[in-house]
């Protein structure tokens, strides 16, 4: 393993804002994130598959009266998000290293107030449908963990994933799509301001070559 990566993993092990296997908090924070990690009762937003944490940190900057967590399995990515949050002096953001499949082991029922899914792997092969972060398998987990009426957001460059998500929601009893667009940055009005306010490096690269960004905001009932 490269020395730089080893140093970053060592940093993660000592950082209180990074929760990962091997740390006592990894086993005990489910249902207790606000009280025991953030030490407040502010609403908790989760970004699933946060990568380098650009969106999680951006949300935390915009909304200081909310708590934000970025979830990813790659420790080096979380190191980048943690480093960025520290440089900005943010106390309302943290990171948890785990797989999205393990969500229900990390959070309690109704603990989350909002979920963002930003530019996930579209998993284009049919055999990978269950691994898509908007598949029924994951929607069931989200519904268990979200407070009633809580919002979910998807931003993606993938037309097939966007179509799949809308079809899945249309077939799901109780699901409600509040806002949808196939070209986020061509839209105006208050319904799109929040999704337009933060742009990741990945997102910028796609926009630069003319790929429209798709966005849907929905609730699971």
Which residues are designated catalytic?
121
C-alpha distance across the termini of the chain, in Å: 45
Token pair recorded at residue 82: 């943690």
Tokens 């997102």 belong to 203
Cα→Cα distances 83→76, 89, 99, Å: 11, 10, 21
Letter string b/e over residues 169-206, b meaning 16 or more CB atoms within 10 A of that residue's CB = beebeebeeebbbeebeeeeeeebebbeebbbeebeeb
Query: Which residues does 74 contact at the CB level (< 8 Å), separation at least 6?
Result: 51, 97
Nearest to 98, CA basis, from 78, 118, 81, 126: 78
Answer yes or no: are the C-beta atoms of 48 and 115 closer than 8 Å.
yes
């Amino acid at each position: 393993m490269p020395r730089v990566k080893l140093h970053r993993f060592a940093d993660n092990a000592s950082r209180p804002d990074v929760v990962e296997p091997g740390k006592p908090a990894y086993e005990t924070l489910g249902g207790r994130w606000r009280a025991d990690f953030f030490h407040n009762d502010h609403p908790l937003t989760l970004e699933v598959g946060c990568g380098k944490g650009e969106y999680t940190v951006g949300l935390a900057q915009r909304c200081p009266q909310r708590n934000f967590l970025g979830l990813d399995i790659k420790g080096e990515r979380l190191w980048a998000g943690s480093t960025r949050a520290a440089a900005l002096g943010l106390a309302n953001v943290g990171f948890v290293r785990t797989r999205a499949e393990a969500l229900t082991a990390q959070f309690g029922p109704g603990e989350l107030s909002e979920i963002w899914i930003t530019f996930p792997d579209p998993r284009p092969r049919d055999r990978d449908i269950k691994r898509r972060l908007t598949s029924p398998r994951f929607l069931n987990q989200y519904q268990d963990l979200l407070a009633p009426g809580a919002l979910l957001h998807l931003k993606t460059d993938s037309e097939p994933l966007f179509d799949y998500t809308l079809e899945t929601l249309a077939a799901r009893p109780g699901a409600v799509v509040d806002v949808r667009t196939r070209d986020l940055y061509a839209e105006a009005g208050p319904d799109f301001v929040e999704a337009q306010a933060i742009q990741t490096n990945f997102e910028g690269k796609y926009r630069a070559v003319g790929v429209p960004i798709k966005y849907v905001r929905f609730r699971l009932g």
